Amino acid sequence: MILTKMSLRGEESMTISDVEYLTGMVRANIRYYEEQGLITPERGSNGYRDYSKSDIEILKRIKLLRTLHMSLDDIKLLSTGEKELDKALEEHLQKLEADKKNLENSERVCKAMRDDGVSWQSFDAQKYLNKLAEVFELPVEELETDTLPLATCPIRRYIAKQFDMFFYTVLWVFVLYQFGVFMWNCNGATIIFHIFVMPVILMHLLEPAFLALIGTTPGKAVLGLHITNNTGQRLTYSEGFVRTLERSIRGNGVWPPVNALYAQYQCFKACEEGETLEWEYDSRITLCGEETWRSISMVIVSVLLTVTLIMLLIPTAVRLDRAGEVTVREFAHNYNELAGYHHGTMYMMSEGGRWSKSMFADQLPPETHVDGYEYPPYQFELVENENSGLFASDKVITIQSVSFTIEQEGIAMPASYLDDMKYAIEAFVREHKDYKKNAEELENILNSLPEYENFEFEILGIKVSCMIEHSGYRHLEHNNALFRNEGEETYYLVKFFMTK
């Protein structure tokens, strides 16, 4: 069943699938005739073409005349009214008659050559050329040749796409590195997001820009592929974005994985057979030569991207060499991650271990703290370490101990700072090579730590202690808080210390 709707011209409109069914043409023919200006379908609100009944009739006329071997130039003249149909038919009949004579002459010469028993090594071509009474005209193109030129090289195009994805992955890892985000600090879901999801997002944002600026992408450039619109101009950003998005949806199948693999296989076969892919009706992809140069370029770019990725991941290897040791930068990153996970914070610890206002502070609601809360002034005792193993020549400054002291007077209800201490402990301990094996033990210890009381413990060779002194307060256990005694002077002291 064919579903129709009304176009802006007041006519019933149909999709390209309907047009294929009604005309018996393939999409490549339909798009080619549209590009030649023979039909002008409207664009619907969804961006897709809406074909009218008049478009259908024009396509049927084109199909008939092309099947009768009338030239496309003559059909264009008919469509614009520059030539009348009866005159065009008369001229075409004369041409068909000439073609018929040419074929008869060809038949006679072929029979003569056969009867003479000629062989490739010995026959006299000039003798038979002389028998030709006239110069033959070239045969008219068949209907199936009326298609836009395609670069049917599915393997090359697939490799180019993988090159692009590798490029976007390296680019994103580099961005993470600049912001102090390292893969070893991420959980499994976060790693999957960074390695598989973010490169795809980057592809949808950057590929349209590449196509608009240079008409190709890094991977396609290496493999000699170039993309333009049907008039030979570069795509606009919006056109490139739509093309990239449609390729992801229609070409990759999105989900589930089995459907994605099947969709990619279908696209591979369609490309191999020279069909126009769904997202390429408004663009054309061309292939440049220079096969040797392309092969060399592919090797060079592969090496450069691989080396870049290795260089970006060197900090990971350094960290493995000094497992159990942590730099101030890593401590700050871990601390921020933990504090941000448990509650949004307006301040974050800088790479130097100092507090600075978060870039998202203006988007967060005002923080609510108990009376007199202040961000802990962490102090670091640093040592210089010489790595062993692969990166033995590197000297790394790491933390030997972490501490802070808060001393307050006249505070009505002081903070326990227990959460801050928990963040610091886990930020320090999680860099140990055996952290994952002891994660449950650490969690149990942290959950058992009392508020407003002294504690001391050791885990994985790291000693942790907290000393609290206070006067002028009463401890209300049901509220788990210190309240000022009426009329008394108050004093509150917290000393936190952690060392290897």
Band (182; pLDDT cuts 50, 70, 90):
low
Q: Among all chains, which residue has been given the structure tokens 């007077």?
A: 409
Q: What is the 3-state secondary structure (H, E, C) of 21-64?
A: HHHCCCHHHHHHHHHCCCCCCEECCCCCEEEEHHHHHHHHHHHH
DSSP symbols for 65-110: HHHTT--HHHHHHHHHTSS-HHHHHHHHHHHHHHHHHHHHHHHHHH
Average pLDDT over residues 6-13: 56
Q: How confident is the model over 223-281, as pLDDT tens digits? A: 788 888 877 788 999 998 988 888 888 777 555 556 677 887 888 888 777 777 777 77
Average pLDDT over residues 386-401: 62
Q: Show the domains of the chain with their CATH numbers.
A: 5-67 (1.10.1660.10), 85-145 (no CATH), 154-321 (no CATH), 328-499 (no CATH)
Q: Helices 328-342 and 418-429, interaxial angle, to 10°?
A: 130
The β-bridge partners of 233 are: none
End-to-end CA distance of the chain: 76
Q: How confident is the model over 100-112, as pLDDT tens digits? A: 877 887 888 888 8
Omega of the bond leading into 414 within 30 degrees of 0 (cis): no
Per-residue pLDDT at 290 exceeds 60: no
Which is higher by pLDDT, 303 or 285? 285
* Sheet containing 491-499, strands listed edge to edge, beginning at the edge strand earlier in sequence: 379-386, 395-409, 491-499, 462-471, 455-459
Tell me which of 80-94, 331-345, 369-383 is least confident: 331-345
pLDDT for 360 equals 58
Cβ-Cβ contacts under 8 Å for 230 (sequence gap 6 or more)? 35, 148, 282, 283, 284
SS3 367: coil
Q: How confident is the model over 185-219, as pLDDT tens digits? A: 566 677 788 888 888 899 999 999 999 999 889 88
Identify the CA nearest to 55 among candidates 79, 69, 39. Answer: 39
Show the tokens assigned to 119: 């062989």
How far apart CA 230 and CA 37 sit, in angstroms, is 12
